[in-house]
A and B are shown apart, each in its own frame.
Chain A
Amino acid sequence: MVNLNLHLQEIKNILKNIPDPEIPVINIVEMGIVRDVEFIDNELVVKITPTYSGCPAMKAIEDDIVSELKSNGIENISVQKIFTPAWSTDLLTDEAKRKLKEYGIAPPEGKAENEFYRDLITKPIECPYCNSRETKLTSQFGSTACKSLHYCNSCQQPFEHFKCI
Chain B
Amino acid sequence: MNEIKNEIKADLFEYLLRLGDDRLILGHRLSEWCGHAPILEEDIALANIALDCIGQANAFLTLAAAVENNNRTEDDLAYFRDETEFKNLQLVEQPNIDFAYTITRQFFIDAFAVHLYDELSKSIVEDLSGIAAKALKEVKYHLRHSRQWVLRLGDGTEESHNKIQNAINDLWMFTGELFFENDVDKKLIQEGIIPSTKSVEQKWKEVIESALTEATLKIPDDSNTNLRSGRNGDHTEYLGHILAEMQIVARSHPGAKW
- What is the interface of chain A, defined by CB distance below 8 A to chain B? 50, 52-56, 82-87, 116-117, 138-145, 149, 163, 165
Contacts and interface: CB of A to CB of B under 8 A. Distances in A.
The 7 closest A-B pairs by CB, nearest first: A54-B55, A53-B55, A84-B130, A139-B41, A54-B51, A83-B130, A141-B45
Contact of B44 (A55, A141, A165): A141
Interface of B, secondary structure class, is helix
Nearest to A138: B41
Interface stretch (B100-108, B131-139, B163-171, B179-187): B131-139
A52 B50 CA distance: 12
Interface of A, secondary structure class, is loop
B144 to A, nearest CB: 7
A165 B137 contact: yes
Most buried by B among A84, A138, A163: A84
B159 to A, nearest CB: 23
Given A53-B59, A117-B144, A83 B134 contact: yes
A55 B55 contact: yes
Given A141-B45, A145-B51, A53 B129 contact: no
Contacts of B59: 53, 83
Interface of B: 27, 41, 44-45, 48-49, 51-56, 58-59, 126-127, 129-131, 133-135, 137-138, 140-141, 144-145
Given A138-B41, A143-B44, A149-B41, A86 B134 contact: yes
Nearest to B60: A53
B134 to A, nearest CB: 4
Contact of B131 (A83, A140, A142): A83
B138 A141 contact: no
Contacts of B130: 82-86
30 contacts: A52-B55, A53-B52, A53-B55, A53-B56, A53-B59, A53-B134, A54-B52, A54-B53, A55-B55, A82-B130, A83-B127, A83-B130, A83-B134, A84-B126, A84-B130, A85-B130, A86-B133, A117-B144, A138-B41, A139-B41, A139-B45, A140-B141, A141-B45, A141-B141, A142-B44, A145-B48, A145-B138, A149-B41, A163-B141, A165-B137
B56 A54 contact: yes
A141 B55 contact: no
Given A52-B55, A54-B56, A83-B134, A141 B129 contact: no
